[in-house]
Chains A and B, each alone.
Chain A
Amino acid sequence: MPMDLAPMVFYYRKDLFEQHGISLPRTWDEFSTAAAAVKQVDPQARICSFPLNDGSFFAGMSWQAGDPWWTAQGDTWAVDIAGEGTLRTASFWQSMISGNQVAGVVYGSQDWIAGIHDAKLWGVLGASWSVGTLNRSIPKDTGRWAVATMPTWDGKPANGIQGGTAFGVSAESKAPEAAMTFLRWLSTNPEVPKIGSAFSTPFPAHLPNRAVARQAYKGGFFLGDPVYDVLDEAAKRVPEWTWGPNALRLFSTISDSFGPVRGGGTTLPDAVRKVQQHAMADMRARGLSVREGKAA
């Protein structure tokens, strides 16, 4: 039973961008230029942070690049974590990290909050739920931030997703029908998104509920386009993707493998290749039928 999804968007300090004549980046090339411009204005400031410890963030970035990490093909998983799109994403962020163009602080940590509070982070690559984080962390920043869809690789609309909610009922459940009744209520009852709208921007999968959430969100924090317009547009741009059976394990493999990138012990593309090997070995050890590379 699907409940919600969390399209990724770029939150940025519209006031500072405009004040210093930096235009909103629409491609990753422009993003890199804008990052350099931010650093030039304030050597302590960065355009955003790239959290090396968060596998779901990197998955969301790679999702946009259009090479799904898993594809079910007949009775076999095609595993393609080191595919072309993912490696392009990794190389881009490696160059940003090597050039000291992005911060390395962990999303939601005290350093991160201090960063957005003190205008040392001018942007946040986050998801729909980041609205709640921003509202709670920097309530006085009302009227400074704006929301935009993610920059793209080649101008062709594409967007990633970071997180989402779906429920399943265990085959061993003694009351599967009761469980489904509850889950249907949770996912479709219009009162449910109103609860979340009090402090964030819930983005239900059930479209009538999304309309309820849009209406219930009081807004006022962001400049520019209404946040639900941007989220709707971002959700439309999301390409095909399948989560494999070892997704959560893979997130921790990613943070383990990306760790040494900070000290220069490895590079993101090399780490991504290692993650692919780990994922293959892990899935084989669990008896799954796996094949390396893109879906045929």
Chain B
Amino acid sequence: MKTNSHSTEVISGLLLFLLFATAMLFVLLFGAKAYQNISASMEEQYKERTCISYIAAKVRHADSAGAVSLVDFGGTSALSLDETVDGQVYSTLIYYYQGNLYELYAEKNSDLQPEDGFSIIAMDNVVFETVAPSLFRIECSLEGRTSEIFISTMSEKEASLT
């Protein structure tokens, strides 16, 4: 009788411990899943947003009459953001070159080439297009994810590939 009672207590103790271990496992798995989801969401946002946000911020910063245009730069389409400093016109050229988004700040119409710029971020593709005068479409692709944004500028000058 005594032995029976003792073994029941041992079994109930073991069952309780099993319950504890199972619950602990579930909480751990739930936490891991939550972390995985958040990490995936952050990576997705990085892929979709970083390039687009960077270009959009640069365009809005430089936006003034005729300052934003699309130009041909060494055979690649580049977004040209012009500014005048001490009577001299300087351009910030943003373009896609050899798997990277590049930026180059130089005097307008200088002899510099695409490889002279500095790399901002690695991308699979970046497309700059003029949808209508002063309305640009920018598309960025990275690892199968593509996002696009349309930006209307204050510039009155027609943006065109020259």
The answer to whether A binds B is no
